[in-house]
Copies of this chain bind each other. A is one copy, B any other.
Amino acid sequence: MKAEVLTIGDELLRGEIVDSNKSFLSDRLLTVDADVRWHSSVLDDPADMTDAFLRAAGRADVVLVSGGLGPTRDDLTIEVLAHTFGRKLVTDQDTLEKLRAFFARFGREMAPNNAKQANFPEGSEILPNPEGTAPGCMLRTDGASFFCMPGVPRELYRMMDEQVLPRLEALRGDGQVARATLLRTFGMGESNLDEALTDLDLGEGVTLGFRTAFPDNYVRPLARGATAEEAQARLARACDAIQMRLGALVYGEGATETMETVLGRLLQERGKTIAVAESCTGGLLGERITSVPGASEWFRGGIIAYSNEVKIQQLGVPEALLEEHGAVSEPVAAAMAQGVRERLGADFGISTTGISGPGGGSDEKPVGLVYVGVADADHVQARDMLFPFERPRNRAVTTQVALDWVRRMLLGEEPIATRYARRRS
């Protein structure tokens, strides 16, 4: 099943937006074993669109089209598709009613332009759009099956998953259904992950993929079965096997289980709170923790201690410690974690201090050197790492180490043996 992804819109060709719909659709097409061979984009221009439709029909079996379903003059996808393949446009009364009801709910009259969103090529199948006003459609032509979807990502994602993928599974006609997921891991490189899973029995019909999403690595099991239930059951078994093998390296699953979300849920479940003392990360730890709605339940707050005075006065780090070891040191990281825990009255205190770069490094304390500290009621610990990245990545991976450490403590696990542990001289 050869596939083409065709996105339509002047804003793409003018470079005003980065077209992430193509990568989303291509990724999803992998789950139905489609061979994605072509990506194309054209202007909102009928001649160019016709040309692109005919070319796609001539070379692909499946064509996913995104964009041009809106109510404006520029939105021509349906009209041009119908014309290209000699179909009449017919109005779908059901869609028209829904459009009218949508505008009535907001007390507005439906503009004539909006009515065109109820038109579809004769013989096409309508794809509902619960996230917006413009439904999509599927049209089978002699060459290929076209799936027209909106360009708005939220609408596109849902239509692809709920309407298009099941139809593609049916089209493929081998009676096989596929289900995939992403297991999010932190702390092991891609090739080591691959090796760690080499001899693992994943069960029938399951294959593994890998993907890097700094600072994480994702494992992507894909399961096939005769029915959706069978594929789902196989996927669940494979996920269990992978989790058994990798243990706490797997911290979450899917698009939404970020490290901060998972940590927040764990803290909430156990009725624990956390506070942060940030030097080199400058607020990023707090920002990540509070990006999760409801974070006030488990997050007390933090001290951004960018200067030594703030470390001393707001965190109670002893001046002598700073003088003896310097701000970027293990004892200072430990004192920061303990200080913020006590002063803000949290169950956990976490701290960061380091040299993010590009300047500020020395032979003894080079750019990329970072200490992370964690304190709870019983212990205070700090560890050093040496990251080889530039400033934004050094800061990002530092916060991931800190959040992951607390997650592991809550699970009764040791902190990860990071690849970036500093080599002692």
A interface with B by C-beta (< 8 Å): 12-20, 22-30, 36-43, 48, 211, 276, 278, 281-291, 293-296, 299-307, 309-310, 313-314, 343-345, 356-359, 391-392, 395
Contact = CB atoms under 8 A, between A and B. Distances in A.
A296 B309 CA distance: 12
B287 A314 contact: no
A37 to B, nearest CB: 6
Given A40-B38, A302-B304, A344-B314, A19 B13 contact: no
Contacts of A357: 293
B293 A283 contact: no
Contacts of A285: 283
Given A15-B30, A37-B43, A305-B301, A283 B294 contact: no
A27 B41 CA distance: 15
Given A287-B287, A293-B391, 13 more contacts: A13-B38, A14-B36, A15-B22, A15-B26, A16-B27, A19-B19, A38-B41, A40-B40, A281-B287, A282-B287, A283-B290, A291-B391, A301-B314
A25 B12 CA distance: 11
A290 B282 contact: yes
A164 B281 CA distance: 39
A23 B16 contact: yes
Contacts of A14: 26-27, 30, 36
Contacts of A18: 18-20, 22-23
B282 A284 contact: no
B289 A282 contact: yes
B304 A296 contact: no
B42 A41 contact: no
A161 B15 CA distance: 16
A344 B283 CA distance: 16
B310 A211 contact: no
Contacts of A295: 282, 306
A181 to B, nearest CB: 15
A294 B359 contact: yes
18 contacts: A13-B38, A14-B27, A14-B36, A15-B25, A15-B36, A19-B23, A38-B42, A276-B283, A276-B304, A278-B283, A282-B291, A282-B295, A283-B283, A290-B304, A299-B306, A300-B309, A303-B303, A314-B314
Nearest to A391: B293
A246 to B, nearest CB: 21
A296 to B, nearest CB: 6
B289 A300 contact: no
B306 A314 contact: no
A19 B16 contact: no
Contacts of A358: 293
Contacts of A309: 300, 344-345
Contacts of A27: 14-16
Nearest to A24: B15
A300 B306 contact: yes
A162 B296 CA distance: 50
A41 B26 CA distance: 12
Contact of A310 (B26, B40, B344): B344
Given A15-B30, A293-B391, A357-B293, A304 B282 contact: no
A286 B291 contact: no
A337 to B, nearest CB: 15
A291 B306 CA distance: 12
The 8 closest A-B pairs by CB, nearest first: A283-B286, A282-B290, A15-B26, A15-B27, A283-B283, A39-B41, A302-B304, A283-B287
Nearest to A42: B38
Contacts of A391: 291, 293
Contacts of A290: 281-283, 304, 306
B301 A310 contact: yes
Contacts of A302: 283, 303-304, 306
